[in-house]
Amino acid sequence: MAISSKYDPSEIEKKWYAYWMEHGYFYSKPDERPAFSIVIPPPNVTGILHMGHMLNNTIQDILIRRARLRGYNACWVPGTDHASIATEAKVVAKLKENGIDKKDISREEFLNHAWDWTHEYGGVILEQLKKLGCSCDWQRTKFTMDEDMNAAVIKTFVELYREGKIYRGFRMVNWDPEAQTTLSDEEVIYEEKQDLLYYLEYQLKDGSGSVTIATTRPETILGDTAICVNPHDDRYSTLVGKYAVVPVCGRKIPIIADDYVDIEFGTGCLKVTPAHDMNDKMLGEKHDLDVIDILNPDGTLNHHGLHYEGQDRSVARKAIAKELQSSGVLIKTESITHKVGTSERTKAVIEPRLSDQWFLRMDELSQPAIDAVLNTDEIKFFPKKFENTYRHWMINIRDWNISRQLWWGQQIPAYYYGEGNNDFVVAATKEEALEMAQSVSGQQHLKMTDLRQDPDVLDTWFSSWLWPMSVFDGINNPENEEFKYYYPTNDLVTGPDILFFWVARMIMAGHKFSDQKPFSNVYFTGLVRDKQRRKMSKSLGNSPDALKLIEDFGADGVRVGLLLSAAAGNDLLFDDALCQQGKGFANKIWNAFRLVKGWEVSDKDTPVENTLALDWYANKFDLALAEINDHFDKYRLSDALMTTYKLIWDDFCSWLLEAVKPDYGSPIDKKTYDQVIALFEQNLKILHPFMPFLTEEIWQQNATRDSNQALIVSDWPASKDYDQALITDFESVKEVISQLRSLRKSQQIAFKDQLEVLVYGTMDWNPNLIGLIKKLTNLSDMRKVDEKQDGALSFRIGSTEYFVPIVGPVDTEGELIQLTEELKYTQGFLKSVQGKLKNERFVSNAPESVVAIEKQKESDAMDKIQMLQNRIASLGA
RNA sequence: GGGCGCUUAGCUCAGUUGGUUCAGAGCACUUGGUUUACACCCAAGGGGUCGGGGGUUCGAAUCCCUCAGCGCCCACCA
């Protein structure tokens, strides 16, 4: 049967994925084997596969496939995240396209739309992962808003509330006027912006003068309730205790003193707007100031905005500046560069705003999580450098604002039964809430309809932080068999951008709710960037279509391409040339297979050099395997792949196959053939995690296999001791061959012209390998001589010299130049070595072994100089 | 402003405890090669004073100091 010389992945990948699914190799349930589990970082349910996912999931698949081969009961749990704000924003936008405004529909109607959307697009990204070859246990697919997941979230909330760790507070929060919700600190991106700093003059109430303040937000003067100066600022000491008048609205406000104010900045006078600035809020509380909120939730001014009511803050800013200018209050403006908080999702400028929110106390939760990573080494980070970032954040951790003014997510289980917002109970169900409300309030007549559930939902991460536990039902039912078997999970693979959002919180949740770590190792991938180091993004259009890449290069090619330059934690500069390299590698292996399968097998004797070459490769394989295992242990997956790549391409294809390859038209002996096949299969096993499709295809084409003999469920080769001497021997032989090829090239001696090689000195390797050298460099003979041969081409390896009698005209001039240069270099080298040896401090302080090495270098250099001089002389210079 | 990290070949990066194995890999590049698995190939080769300066040491890419450039995290001064 003719096999194509080009490897075509598309059909093959479909075929084997279907085969793996059909035979349930990805499916896992507890058994007597040790468990190895990974939970997927759940992608946004409405998302599509991008390069970051490709990298991240390729890595997880490599880890899980290797674990499976090593005999673990491997379980990779897939799933998606409801991604509260991101999804809600998409749904709102889609409704808008259809002429529907979120404000005009009920919560229930909106949620129906959101669920429709989820059902329509929710599976897309998971289907794409299948194309990449991901061996997830699809029967376990979870969604963060599945019923049991919701139950876990609610249970956790109630528990934390009863412990006093969750509280409601009227706090300054990051308000996104576009999405009309709060954001956590982590969702706010600070961007450098050019703005104007306005200098405004406030008249004193008693008419005794004025005071000038500087602000970047002049519209907020309408919410001013004080002016603050530094108590040590001599310029203003007489003003403290007096009153100033706010321009435009004419409100009388006190002038107070506080160390918080920086004497150097602006005018040294600070307008205090407790409703719209974190620090002003703090000053307000300290000095008991009024709080005047001038904004509506959508970022327009409310009735405190007076004649600017209804205008957006940015519009009002310009308008008010104009008014202030015409009334002479605006003294000057200055350009200023400062950082402005914007919403990660909507890009809207964040307004600090006071509102009722739910918070989770973090102080007690953080300590065990700090210990687990930084003190006990229970959890390891790869690369380790992220432990520093983690430490810094965990030590300065602040309470977590967990409420969001959205509809898509788990609604907060707080039920109000009175008129205001102060009478409420927290309970897992409304029924339970009713009983509690009746008993707490003493009002037995309360009915279900008297209860109002808090309209807010929980931050998305409040479900994500439970993920490794909740996917195994470990929150609702911690004694269940699966949870005990699979948890804690082994590896987590994610990006450093969600170290705090997610990783840190999972560690806290793990210790809080299961008294255990959620995972043992965290592998941080880098960001995927383009060749110009730009972050890949939709708006730049520099993100390649993931599925198109798989079409072009094959999933195996793409996986290799991604891995080749993505050391843990380093950003990956994606270049599809790397996928091309991956595809090329697949083709190389494919052709090696074609070659071997094309051989005609006979029962002739096995040439001794074949035995030696096969022996060498078997040992070389074990050496490489030890390195590969070590790389895996250290989560250096790129290195593991590169070692495998070189082993297969260089050692297996270029050396072993060339060494045993029969002459054209001749058969190969059966023993060699069988061993080559056996070694080929070993290669397939260690390559399988990286290139699952190609390897399974060859594995199955090579022999008829039962369904329980698929490569995916075979075994990872056992580590064996290897014969280093044998490997070294072969390296020497390779060196001889390489030198002979080099010599042919420099002397322009064609391969078809046979050479004779004379050897002076000892060949400390198996002389049976001469046959191999003869075959690979076309020698008529290679034999030992008792005298050096002056006047012949030569090279030297160790203390042995090799002479090749000239068969044709020699490029004397070129060789002379080369030899002279080499002589000069060697003489310089000798001088430096001798200088070192003459240094008494070196000889007396350095270890003997190091000195011995230098002495060896000295004598080798002297020998070499002698040889070079002889050669030059023989050329008649 | 506080903290962390990086700077090694044209590009992307390895270099664990300072000393045979230390100046490396892959890609790219140069040269030669195709009736005999693969041009998505084979072979040979060029290329770096390890960011600058100083110090410790018999010996520094590796340890210390300093300067310059880059990146990330945290906080945020109106």
* Structure tokens belonging to residue A475: 């929150």
In one-letter notation, the amino acid at residue A124 is V
Arithmetic mean of pLDDT, A106-113: 96
Arithmetic mean of pLDDT, A584-598: 95
Angle between the N-to-C axes of helices A84-97 and A107-121, in degrees from 0 to 180, rounded to the nearest 10: 100
What pLDDT score was predicted for residue A691?
98
What pLDDT score was predicted for residue A236?
87
Report helix, strand or coil for A544.
coil
Arithmetic mean of pLDDT, A784-811: 75
* Structure tokens belonging to residue A376: 């006990």
* Structure tokens belonging to residue A600: 């005609």
Report helix, strand or coil for A180.
coil
Q: How far apart are CA A181 and CA A353, in angstroms?
A: 11
Q: How far apart are CA A833 and CA A863, in angstroms?
A: 14
What pLDDT score was predicted for residue A808?
58
| A2 has a pLDDT exceeding 80 | no
In which region does residue A876 sit, left (phi positive, over 0), alpha (psi from -120 to 50) or beta (all else)? left
pLDDT band at A863 (very low <50, low <70, confident <90, very high): confident
The integer distance in angstroms from the CA atom of A584 to the C1' atom of B61 is 34
Which of the listed ranges A22-36, A442-456, A561-575, A855-869 does the model predict with the highest average pLDDT? A22-36
* Structure tokens belonging to residue A463: 């479900």
* Structure tokens belonging to residue A7: 């490897």
Arithmetic mean of pLDDT, A728-741: 90
The integer distance in angstroms from the CA atom of A589 to the C1' atom of B11 is 27
CA angle A39, A43, A46 (to 5 degrees): 145
The protein residue nearest B71 (Cα–C1') is A571
**pLDDT tens per residue across span A515-524:** 999 999 999 9
Q: How far apart are CA A134 and CA A82, in angstroms?
A: 21
Task: Give the torsion sign (CA, A421, A424, A426, A431).
Answer: negative
Of A476-480, A500-504, A845-849, give the lowest mean pLDDT range: A845-849
Would you say A613 and A776 are in contact if contact means Cβ atoms under 8 Å apart? Answer: no
| A877 has a pLDDT exceeding 60 | no
Nucleotide in closest CA–C1' contact with A389 = B73
What pLDDT score was predicted for residue A233?
85
Q: How far apart are CA A19 and CA A710, in angstroms?
A: 10
What pLDDT score was predicted for residue A389?
87
Nucleotide in closest CA–C1' contact with A577 = B27
| A826 has a pLDDT exceeding 80 | no
In one-letter notation, the amino acid at residue A613 is A
> For the residues of A703-765, what is the DSSP string, one character each?
S---GGG-GGGS-PPPP----HHHHHHHHHHHHHHHHHHHHHHHTT--TTS-EEEEEES---S
Arithmetic mean of pLDDT, A818-823: 74
Arithmetic mean of pLDDT, A145-157: 97
Would you say A717 and A685 are in contact if contact means Cβ atoms under 8 Å apart? Answer: yes
| A349 has a pLDDT exceeding 70 | yes
Give the up-direction half-sphere exposure of residue A777: CA atoms within 13 A in the CB hemisphere. 26
Nearest to A245 by CA among A213, A275, A283: A213
The integer distance in angstroms from the CA atom of A36 to the C1' atom of B40 is 37
> For the residues of A143-155, what is the DSSP string, one character each?
ETTSHHHHHHHHH
Report helix, strand or coil for A823.
helix
Alpha-carbon distances, residue A213 vs A227, A263, A837 (angstroms) = 8, 12, 75
The integer distance in angstroms from the CA atom of A529 to the C1' atom of B23 is 29
| A552 has a pLDDT exceeding 90 | yes
> For the residues of A599-611, what is the DSSP string, one character each?
PPEE-PPPPHHHH
In one-letter notation, the amino acid at residue A649 is W
| A790 has a pLDDT exceeding 70 | no
What pLDDT score was predicted for residue A814?
67
Report helix, strand or coil for A265.
coil
User: Looking at per-residue confidence, does A814 or A732 come out higher?
Assistant: A732
The protein residue nearest B5 (Cα–C1') is A385
Q: How far apart are CA A697 and CA A13, in angstroms?
A: 9
Give the bases of strand B that a protein CB approaches within 7 Å.
2-5, 11-14, 19-20, 25-28, 31-32, 36-45, 57-59, 72-78
Q: How far apart are CA A552 and CA A649, in angstroms?
A: 22
| A528 has a pLDDT exceeding 60 | yes
Q: How far apart are CA A425 and CA A157, in angstroms?
A: 12
| A439 has a pLDDT exceeding 50 | yes
pLDDT band at A319 (very low <50, low <70, confident <90, very high): very high
Burial class (CB in 10 A: 0-12, 13-18, 19+), A808: exposed
Tracing tokens 């496939």 back to the chain, one arrives at: A65
Secondary structure element (H or E) that encloses residue A786, with its range: none
Nucleotide in closest CA–C1' contact with A264 = B77
Nucleotide in closest CA–C1' contact with A269 = B78
What pLDDT score was predicted for residue A115?
96
Nucleotide in closest CA–C1' contact with A854 = B20
Contacts with A90 (C-beta within 8 Å, 6 or more apart), sequence order: A46, A117
Nucleotide in closest CA–C1' contact with A220 = B78
- DSSP character at residue A385: T
What pLDDT score was predicted for residue A654?
95
Nearest to A45 by CA among A464, A561, A442, A666: A464
Of A15-29, A163-177, A471-485, A579-593, give the lowest mean pLDDT range: A163-177
What pLDDT score was predicted for residue A3?
67
What pLDDT score was predicted for residue A503?
95
Arithmetic mean of pLDDT, A64-93: 94
What pLDDT score was predicted for residue A60?
97
Nucleotide in closest CA–C1' contact with A396 = B74
Q: How far apart are CA A863 and CA A799, in angstroms?
A: 8
| A464 has a pLDDT exceeding 90 | yes
| A345 has a pLDDT exceeding 80 | no
Full strand arrangement of the beta sheet holding A755-760: A779-784, A755-760, A800-804, A793-797
Q: How far apart are CA A747 and CA A755, in angstroms?
A: 12
Q: How far apart are CA A161 and CA A825, in angstroms?
A: 78
The integer distance in angstroms from the CA atom of A646 to the C1' atom of B14 is 15
Would you say A336 and A195 are in contact if contact means Cβ atoms under 8 Å apart? Answer: yes
What pLDDT score was predicted for residue A555?
97
The integer distance in angstroms from the CA atom of A569 to the C1' atom of B17 is 24
| A690 has a pLDDT exceeding 70 | yes
**pLDDT tens per residue across span A363-373:** 899 999 999 99
The integer distance in angstroms from the CA atom of A78 to the C1' atom of B11 is 36
**A601-602 and A668-669: which strand pairing?**
parallel
Arithmetic mean of pLDDT, A814-834: 74
Nucleotide in closest CA–C1' contact with A751 = B33
| A66 has a pLDDT exceeding 80 | yes
Q: How far apart are CA A481 and CA A468, in angstroms?
A: 15
- How many Å is the maximal CA-CA distance in chain A? 120
Number of H helices, E strands in chain A: 27, 31
The total number of residues written for chain A in this structure? 877
Would you say A290 and A220 are in contact if contact means Cβ atoms under 8 Å apart? Answer: no
| A498 has a pLDDT exceeding 60 | yes
User: Looking at per-residue confidence, does A180 or A346 come out higher?
Assistant: A180
> For the residues of A410-442, what is the DSSP string, one character each?
PBP-EEE-SSSSS-EEE-SSHHHHHHHHHHHH-
> For the residues of A619-643, what is the DSSP string, one character each?
HHHHHHHHHHHHHHHTT-HHHHHHH
**A226-229 and A252-257: which strand pairing?**
parallel
Alpha-carbon distances, residue A355 vs A103, A297, A345, A358, A772 (angstroms) = 20, 10, 21, 10, 82
What pLDDT score was predicted for residue A551?
94
**Mean pLDDT estimate for chain A:** 89
- DSSP character at residue A268: S
Report helix, strand or coil for A537.
coil
Q: Residue A188: what are its φ and ψ, rounded to 5°?
A: -100, 125
Of A658-667, A682-691, A849-858, give the lowest mean pLDDT range: A849-858
The protein residue nearest B3 (Cα–C1') is A392
The integer distance in angstroms from the CA atom of A337 to the C1' atom of B13 is 37
pLDDT band at A765 (very low <50, low <70, confident <90, very high): confident
The protein residue nearest B16 (Cα–C1') is A634
Task: Give the torsion sign (CA, A11, A14, A16, A18).
Answer: negative
Q: How far apart are CA A246 and CA A301, in angstroms?
A: 17
Arithmetic mean of pLDDT, A547-561: 95
Count CB neighbours of A260 within 10 A.
Answer: 14
| A426 has a pLDDT exceeding 90 | yes
Tell me how far apart the terminal alpha carbons of chain A are, to the nearest angstrom: 62
* Structure tokens belonging to residue A616: 């060498």
Nearest to A874 by CA among A793, A787, A779: A793
Distance of alpha carbon A736 from the chain centroid: 44
The integer distance in angstroms from the CA atom of A745 to the C1' atom of B65 is 52
The integer distance in angstroms from the CA atom of A697 to the C1' atom of B13 is 32
What pLDDT score was predicted for residue A1?
46
Compute the radius of gyration of chain A from its Cα atoms. Answer: 37
Report helix, strand or coil for A243.
strand
